[in-house]
Structure 1
């Protein structure tokens, strides 16, 4: 087996031999050689020897020496260098012999087979795609060395910094060789410690949560982001900068990011040196117009910014977009809003003046999209608010780029503008790199309430490259079976209209009731924005809900199960849901608010007639240097029946099993105490307020263990008809109060949540559940 470095030695020997030959032929010695003594040669014959596949004319062309041409000793050396640089020959000798120049070459052998040895983490097929060496082609040491470096770099990108790759050749008969890449993969170089220097207002633990890179912990076998990848540090620098700037630290800088590799090259210690600066708030806000005829007050009225607010570049950008959109609505093109910022260091405030100015008259000539092999151009184009011929707005182009990246269809998306065919035209270039958008998942789930379950799901978020979503799911638990189908068109008729179709089939047979249910439904929805942070969804649902196989003796449920003879009712309902979510823009990094209100009215045909109303409000805020998260959740609902039969147990609300922790599913609320099984009846109304706090436990962040405490207050009440059962059924508002502690563990196998609870106010007939564990995983 011959190694490539031997080839390097043969090149050196050949070069020395060639130099000695032409110096000897010139009758010169090295010590006495000077330009003045240099001789020239003229060869009447050029003879090529040793070539088999490369013809003599090609060799002479590379040498660049013609018969009868005068050439110096330096010119002969240049000819030698050109022949070596051609990459066709393993050895080269140039020998002047009187009036004849002999060029003797040994051609590189052909590569018969390319093999990889020692690789376990990366398959041969993947490595073969990385290299440029090919079988049935001439062997090139330079190419093989470059291929070895490429393979080693690929291993380093996967955290195996100690990986080495050595190309070797095995010579075969017929001037052929086998090329073998001997690979020593080495161990994964994990990040043993992530530390920070210069941070005062935020702890190392909080800053580690910001980074894409993670620190290795007890689950290092499963974590994929705890390997050291140098390129990832640049992303982490930007993430840190965005984190601090969005919290008012306008002078923040990452001074340095260093990585020290252990002597064994199996661990890395990464240190970020930062300068936080001071946090600034927004001071005085003014708006001025430098365009004749434009009223600044009208533009100031659409602003959503206030003095005393934490300075955040995203807030400034959002308000500029609001004012420029107002200009477009008024039919005013080329109106720009310039933020003029002055610092008030004494008060740690930033004064902002929004200046309305007239921008340059530049138009969008065209939008060019490249790299989208699967995704249709129209999916990318509809993320732009501008089209060909519209006035060019750099801010809108940047926002369009963010919308393209947010689709999740592309690994990378770059949007740049360059001058078009004239100075007043620009061409917007969109260069995307696609990534897989479909998934096939198989999973397991477990909870104390429903036991072990199995689920399988297929989803494609860019169906046929049209940006549509297609999803199928099947799940089977101890007592339930669910299947569903969903299709979503996000841009119906090319507008911001989300059209959806969903169908479902569910059955239940669980220990918390003595009856079975079957639900079949088909629904349609249409959603559209009604504000920057709010949407309205209109829905229609057609369903059949069946209550059957009741084995208890509650007169109420017996009557409900006998409806229509077989317990099946058809519902035809029209509904709407309004949602306000300020997380859409993400302008407030330490607080968020979600509000959802919906109603559904049934009676457009079918067997049921009711009005169902639900409301959800969630407020969240981070405190204590964002180490602790406080959360307040209010949820409620009411269903009013217009029919004589009233609501059924399958329609009413149950607040246990999650809505109010500490109780079994169907474990609180109205109950038929006179029945043998003391059946839970549910209620037409429910309300619950949940107060939570999540906090660190002092353990390393990479362990994924955090703590929590909660207080739940709520109740389920109200039935339509309890005549004859007043002594056995209590449907009045009886509040329950539960306190508890939680342990949350984020693992690669799924999020685990352990809840330990205690009801400090309850009814005697309630069924408690003091411990609950939930886990869900996909693989």
Structure 2
């Protein structure tokens, strides 16, 4: 114990100061040591006799306690209390959460997330609100969640990336409203889409870059980049392009073709893509020896070989092999041989570059189709999908037929996605076929116009529905009008009439027309039902009936000017309204799309209409025929086409002007509509002919310009005539005789997103003095 005087000496004061300094230093060292090296302490524990919840409005206290997992009177450690806090916070229902111990009471204080009162998307121009809204998980009247809103912003960005808008950004914002409500706004900054500046190929020797670009769905950016939507980068489109490129080559005999990789590189400015397809073509193979071997006693290989249409030396095509297998299996079904399968066994002859195909007839497993389940078709009826299966419940299971049915379902065009899979049924010998489809819109309305030098401009409005009421029926209305005339037409097609492979069609129309060469108006109304059914793999037969009421009336402007009509036209005007009932048929054989050679095909059409057999005011037989062949040469860069076409009308008495043939660009180019054939000597009006015949030769080729411009060229030569008239009164001498005309010309084709344009420049080599030439023609067809 120390004692201090009231008035300490100076030495004592210094001693006391030193002692205090040493004591403070010792205390500081001790404190630091204690802090750096704490002694063990017991974990803090809590026991609450009551739990109170504050701030909850929509969420009940019991729900919050169930998230926390703490019961009244339960002892919990600090770590367990922290876990309970994290669980309540992770529920995603609350903006803030606080756990406050107050003695024996635990207070859980929450602030709930607000309710979304409205959602808006701003700044989007290239993608519609509807398309973006469908990608959102945030919903009006739902609870606002920052995590979900951030995910929605990422989804909207992804929607832009699909369309090649890789620089688009989406920023979510909220606007606070009273009563704990918020408006969610997604602000979009689109920027400029990342276009494909160059689309090139490496490794292609047989086909040029221009030819391969025409195969791909992806396009280079060109002059019309503000309209074309396929010149931006989209990854799923590239995958599709790889498949179609492979199909293109394999169908032309390149069995080893591969797309090695697709390189997509940004430009230095990061505003364009440079895409390169690295391919390996391999060698082109042809069919070698074709044979059939049978491992089934009741199946004669020689008989099955007869249905084969593959010939040695033809370019190899998987489609040709599939078609042959289908014919053989169809023959087996007709002969009552169940479970026959055709296995194509291929032998490669690399030196000769041929593939020998041996079709082996084997007995497949005894498996049956238990049932066909169809899902996803909210509108389309089940029977529309089932009609594409040649197999029904209880039939032998044929994997190839199931694959073919899947392709036929996709070809309907009703579905954005169609998956056909099989699975085990109720027994080992039973299979279930699952069809899962995703429907897409099948109706359209368009408003547009067309223009030609000879006929002028027309306005067109049309409505079409490819899957009417989900029945697979096609329905369309078309309205065409201009200043002088107009027409309304209706067309309906049931592709599976009475559940058969027969198409029923019904056409009807009403209107008036006045072609550029006519000084009279034709008014007509008609209705025409028809039936179309296949008669061979590429052939179809149509039978039809047509009832028509037509009349020819004067053009008042023409008669008021003091002009008179030729006797051939005046007689038809005086006849007034006449009714025609005709029965007809037409046969077509077309291999241009379904043939085995992708570079060549032919079309043959022949038809006749017989009027007067079942009544009516007119009596005639009208016959028409067409034969067209086309092929692609010079690595498919040039398309050659040749056509022979003609028609004859044989009337009982004088033929009517509405039934005769008038020249048009679809018959002989280089002349005005009605510009050749019989003409009146009084007023030079065309009268039409009872006969026409024409031969057309044409070559279409690229112009060496970038493919994305859509420009190509053509040369053509037409040789033909329109002639013959029953009543030769007051006609230009010789105008109804068979006088052949010949025309040469050049064309420029321009494919635009608004419609195809064709510019024709012609020169008549052989013509008559009374003919009406037309050295330039432009046709435009567009919809908007």
* Structure 1 counterpart SS, 2:244: helix
Match of 1:700 among 678, 702, 706: 706
Q: Which residue of 1 aligns with 2:571?
A: 562
Mapped contact 1:632–1:689 kept (Cα < 8 A): yes
Q: Which residue of 1 aligns with 2:197?
A: 192
Counterpart Cα distance in 1 of 2:423 and 2:589: 38
Counterpart Cα distance in 2 of 1:684 and 1:120: 57
Matched positions, count: 745
Counterpart Cα distance in 2 of 1:30 and 1:743: 90
- Deviations 1:591-623, CA, capped at 9 Å, x for gaps: 121111111122221222222111111111111
Mapped contact 1:366–1:428 kept (Cα < 8 A): yes
Moved more, 307-316 or 565-574: 565-574
Residue 401 of structure 2 corresponds to residue 396 of structure 1: yes
TM-score by length of 1: 0.90
Residue 634 of structure 2 corresponds to residue 624 of structure 1: yes
Residue 659 of structure 2 corresponds to residue 654 of structure 1: no
* Structure 1 counterpart SS, 2:618: coil
Q: Which residue of 1 aligns with 2:676?
A: 668
Residue 639 of structure 2 corresponds to residue 635 of structure 1: no
| Stretches of structure 2 lacking an aligned partner (at least 5 in a row) | 1-33
Q: Which residue of 2 aligns with 1:217?
A: 222
Mapped contact 1:38–1:73 kept (Cα < 8 A): no
Counterpart Cα distance in 2 of 1:122 and 1:516: 48
1:522 deviates by 1.9
CA change 1:123–1:646 in 2 (3 A) is closer
Residue 260 of structure 2 corresponds to residue 255 of structure 1: yes
Q: Which residue of 2 aligns with 1:246?
A: 251
Q: Which residue of 1 aligns with 2:688?
A: 682
Q: Which residue of 2 aligns with 1:733?
A: 738
Q: Which residue of 2 aligns with 1:285?
A: 290
Counterpart Cα distance in 2 of 1:176 and 1:498: 58
Counterpart Cα distance in 1 of 2:748 and 2:711: 7
- Deviations 1:254-310, CA, capped at 9 Å, x for gaps: 111232234554322222211111111111111111101210111110111111111
Moved more, 747-756 or 110-119: 110-119
Moved more, 148-157 or 471-480: 471-480
1:731 deviates by 2.8
Mapped contact 1:449–1:657 kept (Cα < 8 A): no
1:544 deviates by 3.0
TM-score by length of 2: 0.89
| Stretches of structure 1 lacking an aligned partner (at least 5 in a row) | 1-27
Match of 2:591 among 558, 569, 582: 582
CA change 1:59–1:754 in 2 (3 A) is same
User: What is the 5 A alignment of 1:297-376?
Assistant: 297-376=302-381
Residue 642 of structure 2 corresponds to residue 600 of structure 1: no
CA change 1:314–1:32 in 2 (3 A) is farther
The structure having more radius of gyration, on CA atoms, is 2
Counterpart Cα distance in 2 of 1:735 and 1:549: 32
Counterpart Cα distance in 2 of 1:236 and 1:379: 30
1:66 deviates by 4.5
Moved more, 357-366 or 170-179: 170-179
Counterpart Cα distance in 2 of 1:602 and 1:613: 12
1:311 deviates by 0.9
CA change 1:767–1:75 in 2 (3 A) is same
- Deviations 1:35-79, CA, capped at 9 Å, x for gaps: xx9958463547455542344443333233446767666555544
Q: Which residue of 2 aligns with 1:162?
A: 167
Runs of 4+ in structure 1 over 6 Å off: 28-34, 95-102, 550-556, 724-727
Counterpart Cα distance in 2 of 1:136 and 1:479: 57
Q: Which residue of 2 aligns with 1:759?
A: 764
User: What is the 5 A alignment of 1:706-717?
Assistant: 706-717=712-723
Q: Which residue of 1 aligns with 2:157?
A: 152
- Deviations 1:683-737, CA, capped at 9 Å, x for gaps: 2221111111111111111111100000111112233353x76982343322111
1:125 deviates by 5.3
* Structure 2 counterpart SS, 1:609: strand
Mapped contact 2:678–2:731 kept (Cα < 8 A): no
Mapped contact 2:52–2:105 kept (Cα < 8 A): no
Mapped contact 2:645–2:693 kept (Cα < 8 A): yes
Match of 2:66 among 61, 68, 83: 61
Counterpart Cα distance in 2 of 1:422 and 1:273: 48
* Structure 1 counterpart SS, 2:567: helix
1:584 deviates by 4.6
CA RMSD of aligned residues (A): 2.8
CA change 1:33–1:700 in 2 (3 A) is farther
Q: Which residue of 1 aligns with 2:537?
A: 532
Mapped contact 1:560–1:567 kept (Cα < 8 A): no
Match of 2:441 among 423, 436, 444: 436
Counterpart Cα distance in 1 of 2:148 and 2:212: 43
Counterpart Cα distance in 1 of 2:324 and 2:456: 50
Counterpart Cα distance in 2 of 1:29 and 1:398: 77
CA change 1:564–1:734 in 2 (3 A) is closer
Mapped contact 1:160–1:185 kept (Cα < 8 A): yes
* Structure 1 counterpart SS, 2:535: strand
Q: Which residue of 1 aligns with 2:11?
A: none
1:80 deviates by 4.1
* Structure 2 counterpart SS, 1:680: coil
Counterpart Cα distance in 2 of 1:439 and 1:121: 21
CA change 1:134–1:539 in 2 (3 A) is closer
Q: Which residue of 2 aligns with 1:15?
A: none
Match of 2:552 among 539, 547, 552: 547
Residue 119 of structure 2 corresponds to residue 114 of structure 1: yes
Moved more, 212-221 or 676-685: 676-685
Counterpart Cα distance in 1 of 2:361 and 2:381: 37
* Structure 2 counterpart SS, 1:607: strand
- Deviations 1:665-698, CA, capped at 9 Å, x for gaps: 11112334xx222332322221111111111111
* Structure 1 counterpart SS, 2:329: helix
* Structure 1 counterpart SS, 2:666: coil
Mapped contact 1:451–1:478 kept (Cα < 8 A): no
